[in-house]
Each structure stands twice: as C-alpha cells, then as structure tokens.
Amino acid sequence: MSFSVEPIAPLEAARLFIDKISKPARILVAVSGGSDSTGLLIALHRVLTDTGSRDISLQAVTIDHALRGGSADEARGVAELCARHGIVHHIRRWDGDKPATGISAAARLARYALIGEVAAEIGADVIAIGHTHGDQRETIAMRSARSQRHDNLGLAGMADAVLYAGRHWIVRPFLVSTRQDIRDFLREKGQSWFDDPTNNDAKYERVRVRIRHSEPQRTLIDQSINRSMLSAAAAHWIEKQAESHLDCLIKIKPAGLQSDTAIVRYALSALASVIGGRRFAMAADSMDRVMAFLSKGEPGRITASRAVFELRKDALYLMRETRDIPSLAVAAGATALWDERFEITNRSTRTLLIGGKHARMAVDLPASIPKSVAKRVMQITPTIEVEGNEGSAAEAGEVDIRPLLVPYDLFLPRFDLELANVIARLIGRSAYPQPPV
C-alpha cells in the first residue's frame, strides 16, 4: 500500500515536530551550512521563539570532513549564524587518514560518530537532520534501480527516525518538505547558505539520480507503512513461534512456518542476521533459496550468510555456521567484539583467550535439543580461557559477555524498533529506547 500527500511547508513541519516531541527536550541540530540543514535550524529556532517554549532547548553541531578546501570556513560560517541567533554551536573535524575508496560511506560513519559524541556531551534527547522530500525520492529511486522486485524493502525509503548506536534518536522533520520550499523560506528570512560542490558531482550516485529526476515533484509517496506493518507482524510471529538458547540458537515451532510467507521471510531474515553476526539483511536471492528449502518441508540443512537453517520434524533450528570461528585475545580491563555476535569485557588482571576453531564448550541445553545441533552449538558459543594456561577457565565475575544485535546496534530505523526489541528480549538483551517524537 502507498499513498500520496501534499508536502508541508518548512515552518509548519518544524511546528509539528515541536508539538509532538516529548518535553522537556534538548535538540541537537546537525547543520552542514547547506540550505536544508540551515533551513531546519532557522525554522526550529523560529518556532521556539514564537512559542516562548522554556522546556525545549536548541544547540547545533557542524562536522568539518576536511575533504575539500573551504570546509573549515563553512563550519565557521555556521558558527557565526548560530551566534547571531544565540544558539550554542559545536564544531568537530574528521581528522586522520581518509580511505581511497568508499569515501562517502566512511564520511557518513565518521559524521554520525562525531555528532553522537557531541550529543552525549550535552545530553541531547534527539538529533535533528535536514533530509528532505527530494532526498526521500532519490533514495527510493536508487533502491528501485538496484532491484525491480515487488518485495524490495528499500522502496520504503528512509525512516523518519533512526536510533544511532543504541542511544541517540536521529529524526528527519523535513522529510515531508521540499528543498525549493526550504530555500524560499530562507530567502524570505534573508538567510543565505553554502552550496557544496559535491552535490553537483556526477561521480556520486545520488547526484546522477537527482539529475535524472530533476523535474520538481509536489507529491510525496509514503511507502513506509508497508515495512512498518510487515516488521510489526514479524515481531509478533517471533514472540509466538521462537525460543532462544544460550543467545546463539533459535528454535522455531514447525507450525509457525505455515504462516504468511512474507512475514516468515522477514522474521527469519532478521533472526539470521543477528545469529550470524551480519550487519545487513540477507541478500534477496539467498532468502529465496532459504524459503524454497523450507517450502519443501523436508528435513535437511541449508547455510546462507553465515547462518545455518536446520529443519527437523520437531522444529527449525537457526544457528551460526561453525566455519571461521575466530580466536581473540582480550587484555586485562579491555572490551572487544568477538565474531560480531558478542561483546566481551575482561574484568580480570589476566589476558583472556576467546573462541578458537579448536575450542569446545559443554553446553547446557534442554534434552529436547538434538545431539547434533547441541554439538554445533558447542563450537559457536564463546569459550574463555586464560592466556598461557590453556584449559584454565576464567572465574566467575572475571568476564562479561553481552550478545550483540549487529543489524540494529548501529542504525535502527523506526520501522524495525518493535522487531528489534522482540529479538533483544529473546536473546537476553535490554530493550532499545523509544523515540522522543
């Protein structure tokens, strides 16, 4: 299902956001100096000034990526703008070596990490960024070009809110406002902005898409309800059909596999990503193979994206494959990630060795779990020994093991919040925080 709505003027979008946000609130606005983020800052400041709100405060942050000449000057320009409006402003610079390839993705990760640091320092309740209606259309166009499948989840576009690093909600108040309306709003206020030359560089995919779809669009296509509803249904399915053992084995009731195919597919894809320690959902063709295997209803096993799906008469068992289980040394007092599935904190005064392809660990599983499944679980559960004294296990209290949900721990779209929380409860993790708006 999709539906169309008319875009909302920037000032009205800002008012709606301020009306809905949980109060009191401290908002951190990410401002690059471009028209979209500048318009967001000015609109939010205007609304707060007009309403005289005392329970909402506004600060801004600018990230200097240090990728081109003039970026530092633009950051200082934003600082001057904020000073004129009495808005506290922070500048952070992305220092260090830059990758030769994948610079856009690396810059994005660095940007959010630096913004997150500022948000933590000031105790921000929410981070606001200036993505617009045009950005949404471009995102959907890019994802559509990559896959013509009718079940392409990318067609949902960007979520209006995303949880970063499990603690900072990033919101997009202008996702229903057009860039042209934002620029008209700024011109009315006599406010200029900086034009980033990379926004016109056709070597970037988004710019090429923007050029191909240059005709102004006054209608928004909102397809997010598809993914939100599907994800919620998958969450309910997991609650009813799944149980977890040792945070690394999922058992699915056979009756659950007879449910709606789209729901089963979405749920199993999410579970497989968590169990396999994969940051991204399984490729569509891989899930096609898994679903085709399950549809036969015949006992057997299939592996996809580091996850093993073993179908037996009593249940479907889902676990990490036993190949390439890593070894890891964790120094005294250090915290490390193991196999993208567990966070290990060494609270002892000795170096601890985690895992290893020859490691085995006696596991405490119900007698109903098949012996061959239990044997594989022995190989994928984190084993802990003292370095230099192999065979000597760490004592109680010397190590903390925290299961990870790598598909959600860095970026969790609002679409999947309920689903992520169901899986978190399933494997013994605390719930993710609710968005403030």
Which positions ≥6 away from 437 have C-beta within 8 Å? 17, 20, 21, 22, 126, 161, 169, 171
* Residue 226: Cβ within 10 Å count: 17
Comparison of pLDDT for 223 and 315, the residue scoring more: 315
Q: What percent of the chain has pLDDT over 90?
A: 78
- Residue 145: predicted pLDDT: 81
Res 403 pLDDT > 90: yes
What average pLDDT does the segment 396-405 reach? 92
- Residue 369: predicted pLDDT: 96
Q: Is the peptide bond before 24 cis (omega within 30 degrees of 0)?
A: yes
Least confident of 242-251, 295-304, 359-368, 369-378: 359-368
Q: What percent of the chain has pLDDT over 70?
A: 90
- Residue 270: predicted pLDDT: 98
Cα(113)–Cα(127) distance, integer angstroms: 12
Helix, strand, coil proportions of the chain in percent (round to 5)? 40, 20, 35
- Residue 155: predicted pLDDT: 82
Instruction: Say whether 32 counts as a known binding-site residue.
Output: yes
Band (391; pLDDT cuts 50, 70, 90)? low
Res 360 pLDDT > 70: no
Cα(307)–Cα(240) distance, integer angstroms: 21
Instruction: Say whether 224 counts as a known binding-site residue.
Output: no
Res 359 pLDDT > 70: no
- Residue 225: predicted pLDDT: 52
Instruction: Say whether 35 counts as a known binding-site residue.
Output: yes
Tokens coding 428: 């013994």
- Express each pLDDT in 102-116 by its tens digit: 998 999 999 999 999
- Residue 202: predicted pLDDT: 47
Cα(242)–Cα(326) distance, integer angstroms: 27
- Express each pLDDT in 14-70 by its tens digit: 999 999 999 999 999 999 999 999 999 999 999 999 999 899 999 999 999 999 889
Report the first-to-last Cα separation within the chain, whole angstroms: 24
Res 3 pLDDT > 50: no
User: In Å, how far from its chain's centre is CA 397?
Assistant: 31
User: In Å, how far from its chain's centre is CA 107?
Assistant: 16
- Residue 390: predicted pLDDT: 62
Sheet strand arrangement including 88-93: 88-93, 56-64, 25-30, 126-128, 168-171, 161-164, 411-413
Does the pTM surpass 0.85? The reply is yes
Task: Report which of 344, 326, 324, 347 is spatially closest to residue 335, judged by C-alpha positions.
Answer: 344
Cα(334)–Cα(234) distance, integer angstroms: 37
Res 189 pLDDT > 80: yes
- Express each pLDDT in 138-177 by its tens digit: 888 888 888 778 788 888 889 999 999 999 999 999 999 9
Contact 59, 89 (CB under 8 A): yes
- Residue 1: predicted pLDDT: 35
- Express each pLDDT in 206-257 by its tens digit: 555 555 555 555 554 555 458 999 999 999 999 999 999 999 999 999 999 9
Instruction: Say whether 184 counts as a known binding-site residue.
Output: no
- Residue 397: predicted pLDDT: 86
- Express each pLDDT in 26-40 by its tens digit: 999 999 999 999 999
Average pLDDT of the residues of the chain:
91
* The domain over range 3-131+172-222 is classified in CATH as 3.40.50.620: yes
Question: What is the DSSP code string of 158-223?
Answer: --SEEEETTTEEEE-TTTTS-HHHHHHHHHHTT------GGGG-TTSHHHHHHHHT-S----EEE-
